[in-house]
Amino acid sequence: MTAGAAGNGQVPVSGRLRRALASGRFVVTAEIGPPRGADPAAIAKKADLLRGWVDAANVTDNQSAHVRLSSFAGSLLAMNAGVEPVMQLTCRDRNRIALQSDLISAATLGIPNILLLTGDHPRFGDHPDAKAVFDIDGVQLVWTARTMRDQGRLLSGRRVDPAPHWLIGTVENPFSPPISFRARRLAKKVAAGAEFAQTQFVFDLDIFERFMSDVRDLGIDRTCGVIAGVGPVRSLRALEYISTKVPGIHVPDAMIRRLRGVPADRVADEGMQICVEIIQRLTEISGVAGAHVMAFGYERGIPEILERAGVGRRPDHAAANEGSGRAG
């Protein structure tokens, strides 16, 4: 794993996530959804639950097209609270001028990681009457960011000086048709400049293993850290919601049977157990760089999930004072 190898020879500012990916140990990321209100403590509260347990946390960009505090402000608040942010940025609400401006802003204020995606359509959000921008697409945004960083140029060709230096991430959904094309689609994003990729929730390990096999065949895992999405399904209502209402999530029948097969008061525990087992399986799949834990508002359960999966606290934190720097 040599995330960040692509570049112009200039040493980039090194974030924790970049170092973790470069070390080859199993990385952990999580998600911080910004609040809808003007509450400066909301991000810090979520960050407190994650500090020490994750290498970085995504700060989402008006997720599901619902208005929230911006990912830019949320990322700054997360940094202040001691959690390294991954600033998400979507093409849904901004044209190429605003996107490049936000990217420069992020670099200027020291946000070390960006995650670039097309974004959900406003149709699913709280403002379905909004104009969907989609001036450029997610792949083009990755390519734009890389050009800004490595060539020091904007889309227009004008210079960006000094050039920014984030770690560039993207997303992929291995479970959405055409499934046999998904690894090649990720390869395209890697060619455009992605250095890590987080995936949609992995519930179906058979499909995911086939995807990873394609990823390895294409050699993508050597330049791009593939971080698998996971999360605990803690109620039958949540199961129903994610399997029918959220586009792109595939829940296999075996898992549905397993969750329905336990008494109502045991569903939450069973969901946690399934999540733990999936993480354990992921640590054994070649080419998987880590897990991205999306906890549906159950952030306080993340340490327990990681502990039980044998992933534990982040080595930099645990070992920093002993100077061992052990890479797990």
| Residues at the contact surface with other proteins, assessed by CB under 8 A | 6, 91, 96, 118-121, 123, 132, 134-140, 143-144, 146-147, 150-151, 153-159, 171-173, 176-178, 181, 184-185, 187-188, 190-193, 200, 247-248, 250
Nearest distance from residue 233's CB to other proteins, in Å?
Answer: 18
Residue carrying structure tokens 């379905």: 128
**Contact (Cβ atoms closer than 8 angstroms) between residue 242 and residue 251:** yes
Nearest distance from residue 30's CB to other proteins, in Å?
Answer: 19
Q: Is 26 exposed, middle or buried (0-12, 13-18, 19+ CB in 10 A)?
A: buried
Q: Is 218 exposed, middle or buried (0-12, 13-18, 19+ CB in 10 A)?
A: middle
Tell me the one-letter amino acid at 123: R
Nearest distance from residue 161's CB to other proteins, in Å?
Answer: 11
Nearer to other proteins, 161 or 265 (CB): 161
Residue 117's beta-bridge partner residues?
A: 90
Tell me the one-letter amino acid at 328: G
Nearer to other proteins, 192 or 302 (CB): 192
The secondary element (H helix, E strand) that includes residue 126 is: none
Closest CA to 224 of 167, 140, 175: 167
Three-class DSSP category at 168: strand
Three-class DSSP category at 58: strand
Nearest distance from residue 321's CB to other proteins, in Å?
Answer: 40
The secondary element (H helix, E strand) that includes residue 197 is: strand 196-201
Nearer to other proteins, 223 or 270 (CB): 223
Nearest distance from residue 265's CB to other proteins, in Å?
Answer: 31
Nearer to other proteins, 191 or 262 (CB): 191
Nearer to other proteins, 30 or 187 (CB): 187
Nearest distance from residue 66's CB to other proteins, in Å?
Answer: 16
Nearer to other proteins, 43 or 194 (CB): 194
